[in-house]
């Protein structure tokens, strides 16, 4: 897509219709000026997506991304390394470390003692995937999951690493993955945003890294494609309700007058942000009805609420957000992203990670089961994972009952389910120290290319021209991980 050509096209149309002697209906003019209401060729309604996407038949229609902010420890959860028990307290060999860089938090340590996991592992499900005792509920759905144990990234600190996973670039300013999908595919529900964000704080590290609104921002794309963050206190979206004394009819008249004023300005300048403003005012009006119904879980059956765990009825918790994610998915929201903080365990890892798993294990598994029993898992892609992994060596002092782990971008584990992914499988492998990848490395760009492929998008074709260059989520990289696809 080329915004310069779009602006020129708007200008040409404006002059043509403005000078036409007979004129043309305002509705027809608006439909021509606002290209964002053009639906894909096979669409039956206004989706807001671009014609041409999807490029081929998709396996997934939507994504639920369960982002575990702070970086879960792969060798304490899913990447079982039994030989480490024999190496406890020994120095990490230089032949394994290979001079790889360290963070400033451990670079001056005089010793790098190996810290095996304190938690027991067992083979789970018919597929026999190894899962820690920390994740008993996830262990119950492993036959639906694909573990990628060879993820790697270039960033070694939280902010650039999280930004990289969300935007395909370590520096802020580019569109988030949800914005790219909103831009390319639009929404299946005109009454809800295409891209919704839900936040929760874990019981692990209460002072974990902050999360910024730019992580779900639209970057240089028009702002109508940015994620909409739902709040857990008060109204889910600010200013959704009418002010006291303002009825629905009055609000409708105000919006109509604003739309006419904005349309005049749009015809004058061709600024796509004005079209965004018009569309967002209308979306907010429709959300007055759709959002309260969406967030009211009182009619959910008790057995469903119980499946998500005791916090499912408490707004703002990870459990409540997982349930809300399912409700958003069945209403056609394209990209649903949950951010759960608290995984940054530089010290007191055994205690902190147990808290994080208590927060997330049951709700994550419940989401998989709930989607599956409703027939939604086949066309919903679910992703679980953080921004990098943790080191096998201990940060700080290793004791009989305690250890911490530093950041480790060289190898870590995520899992995927549904939407075109082979369940009951594991892909990639790491060495006995869980420090280096030994088989089938998967880069962040490769993951993004694979996600887009599941949604029927050729990742090399979803582009936007900005400052003279065509940008895409995968930059100039990205290989589809064919072996994880069904």
Mean pLDDT of the chain: 89
pLDDT at 410: 97
Question: What confidence score (pLDDT) does residue 19 get?
Answer: 37
Contact 308, 319 (CB under 8 A): yes
Assigned domain for 303 exists: no
* Percent of the chain whose predicted confidence (pLDDT) is above 90: 73
H-helix or E-strand containing 447?
A: helix 444-454
What is the full DSSP assignment across 153-180? -S--SHHHHHHHHHHSSSSTTSPPHHHH
Tell me whether residue 434 is in a domain: yes
pLDDT digits (tens, 9 = 90+) for 352-377: 999 999 999 999 999 999 999 999 99
Which residues have C-beta within 8 Å of that of residue 301, sequence separation ≥ 6? none
Mean pLDDT of 274-294: 76
Q: Would residue 249 count as lying in a domain?
A: no
- Which stretch of DSSP H or E encloses residue 356? helix 349-373
Name the pLDDT band for 4 (thresholds 50, 70, 90). Answer: low
CB-based contact 124:140 (threshold 8 Å): yes
Distance, in Å, from the CA atom of 403 to the CA atom of 417, rounded to the nearest integer, reads 31
Q: Is residue 28 part of a domain?
A: no
pLDDT digits (tens, 9 = 90+) for 234-271: 778 776 777 777 777 777 787 777 778 888 888 888 78
User: Which tens digit of pLDDT belongs to each residue from 36-65?
Assistant: 433 333 333 345 677 789 999 999 999 999
164/156 Cα distance (integer angstroms): 11
Residue 277 lies in a domain: no
pLDDT tens track for 317-330: 999 999 999 999 99
Helices and strands per DSSP (H, E), number in the chain: 13, 17
Token pair recorded at residue 448: 């993004």
Statement: residue 290 has pLDDT above 90:
no
Greater pLDDT, 104 or 46: 104
Q: What is the dihedral of CA 225, 455, 470, 211, to 10 degrees?
A: 50
| pLDDT, tens digit, 9 for 90 and up, residues 375-417 | 999 999 999 999 999 999 999 999 999 999 999 999 999 999 9
Q: Tell me if 429 sits within 8 A of 369, measured CB to CB.
A: no
The answer on pLDDT for 116 being more than 60 is yes
Q: Residue 152 belongs to what domain range?
A: 57-232+309-484
What span, in angstroms and rounded, lies between the C-alpha atoms of 129 and 126? 8
Here the CATH number for the domain that contains residue 427 is 3.40.720.10
Structural domains of the chain, count: 1
Q: Residue 20 pLDDT more than 60?
A: no
Q: What's the rounded mean pLDDT across residues 208-212?
A: 91
Beta bridge partner(s), residue 485: 421
Q: What mean pLDDT do residues 80-85 have?
A: 97
> φ, ψ for residue 384 (rounded to 5)?
-130, 125
Q: Kindly report the number of other CB atoms within 10 A of residue 352's CB atom.
A: 24
Q: DSSP secondary-structure letter at 197?
A: E
What kind and span of H or E run contains 151?
A: strand 145-152
Q: Does residue 11 have a pLDDT over 90?
A: no
Q: Residue 8: its pLDDT value, please?
A: 53
Give the pLDDT band of residue 231 (cuts 50, 70, 90): confident
Please choose, from the candidates 2, 28, 7, the residue with its C-alpha nearest in 3D space to the C-alpha of residue 17: 28
Computed over its alpha carbons, how large is the radius of gyration of the chain?
24
Q: Count the neighbouring beta carbons within 10 Å of the beta carbon of residue 303.
A: 7
CB contact at 8 A, 258 and 252: no
Parallel, antiparallel, or unpaired for β 62-68 and 335-341? parallel
The tokens 């990234």 sit on which residue?
A: 153
- Dist. CA 74–CA 116, nearest whole Å: 11
- CB 105 within 8 Å of CB 346: yes
32: pLDDT strictly greater than 80: no
Return the pLDDT at 300.
Answer: 96
Q: What is the pLDDT of residues 132-185, one digit of tens each?
A: 999 999 999 999 999 999 999 999 999 999 999 999 999 999 999 999 999 999
Instruction: Inform me whether the pLDDT recorded for 313 exceeds 70.
Output: yes
β-bridge pairing 380-385 and 62-68: parallel
Residue 476 lies in a domain: yes
pLDDT band at 6 (very low <50, low <70, confident <90, very high): low
Q: How far is CA 57 from CA 51, 423, 474, in A?
A: 14, 20, 21
Instruction: Indicate whether 182 belongs to any domain.
Output: yes
Is residue 436 assigned to a domain?
yes
CA proximity to 192, closest of 294, 272, 273? 294
Q: How many CB atoms lie within 10 A of CB 199?
A: 20
Q: How far is 349 from 117, CA to CA, in rounded Å?
A: 10
pLDDT band at 279, cuts 50/70/90? confident
**Global pTM?**
0.87
User: 22 falls in which pLDDT band (50, 70, 90)?
Assistant: very low
């Amino acid at each position: 897509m080329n915004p310069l050509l779009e602006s020129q096209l708007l200008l040409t149309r404006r002059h043509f219709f403005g000078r036409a002697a007979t004129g043309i209906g305002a509705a027809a003019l608006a439909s021509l000026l606002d290209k964002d209401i053009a639906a894909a060729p096979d669409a039956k309604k206004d989706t807001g997506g671009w014609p041409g996407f999807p490029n081929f038949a998709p396996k997934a229609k939507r994504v639920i991304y369960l982002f575990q902010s702070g970086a879960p420890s792969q060798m304490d959860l899913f990447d079982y390394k039994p030989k480490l028990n024999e190496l406890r307290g020994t120095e990490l060999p230089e032949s394994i470390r290979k001079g790889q860089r360290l963070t400033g938090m451990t670079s001056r340590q005089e010793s790098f003692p190996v810290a095996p996991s304190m938690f027991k592992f067992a083979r789970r499900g018919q597929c026999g995937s190894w899962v820690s005792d920390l994740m008993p509920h996830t262990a119950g759905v492993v036959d639906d999951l694909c573990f990628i144990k060879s993820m790697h990234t270039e960033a070694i600190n939280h902010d650039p690493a999280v930004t990289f996973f969300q935007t395909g670039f370590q520096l802020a300013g580019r569109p988030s993955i949800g914005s790219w999908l909103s831009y390319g595919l639009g929404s299946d529900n005109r009454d809800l945003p295409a891209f919704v964000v839900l936040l929760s704080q874990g019981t692990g590290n209460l002072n974990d890294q902050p999360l910024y609104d730019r992580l779900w921002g639209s970057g240089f794309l028009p702002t109508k494609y940015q994620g909409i963050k739902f709040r857990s206190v008060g109204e889910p979206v600010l200013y959704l309700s009418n002010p006291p004394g303002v009825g629905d009819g009055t609000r409708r008249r105000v919006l109509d007058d604003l739309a006419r004023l904005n349309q005049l300005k749009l015809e004058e300048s061709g600024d796509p942000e004005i079209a965004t403003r018009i569309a967002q005012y209308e979306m907010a009006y429709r959300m007055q009805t759709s959002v309260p119904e969406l967030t009211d879980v009182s009619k959910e059956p008790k057995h469903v609420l119980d499946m998500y765990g005791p916090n499912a009825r408490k707004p703002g918790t990870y459990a409540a957000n997982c349930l809300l994610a399912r409700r958003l998915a069945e209403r056609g929201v394209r990209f649903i992203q949950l951010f759960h903080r608290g995984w940054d365990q530089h010290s007191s890892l055994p205690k902190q990670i147990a808290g994080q798993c208590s927060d997330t294990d049951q709700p994550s598994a419940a989401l998989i089961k709930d989607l599956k029993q409703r027939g939604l898992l086949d066309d919903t892609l679910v992703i679980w994972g953080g921004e990098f992994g943790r080191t096998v060596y201990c940060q700080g002092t290793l004791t009989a009952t305690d250890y911490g782990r530093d950041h480790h971008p060289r190898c870590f584990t995520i899992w995927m389910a549904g939407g075109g992914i082979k369940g009951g499988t594991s892909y990639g492998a790491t060495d006995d120290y869980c420090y280096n990848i030994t088989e089938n490395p998967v880069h962040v760009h490769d993951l993004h290319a694979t996600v887009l492929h599941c949604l029927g998008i050729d990742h090399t074709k979803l582009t936007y021209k900005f400052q003279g260059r065509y940008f895409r989520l995968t930059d100039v990289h990205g290989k589809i991980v064919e072996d994880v696809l069904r």
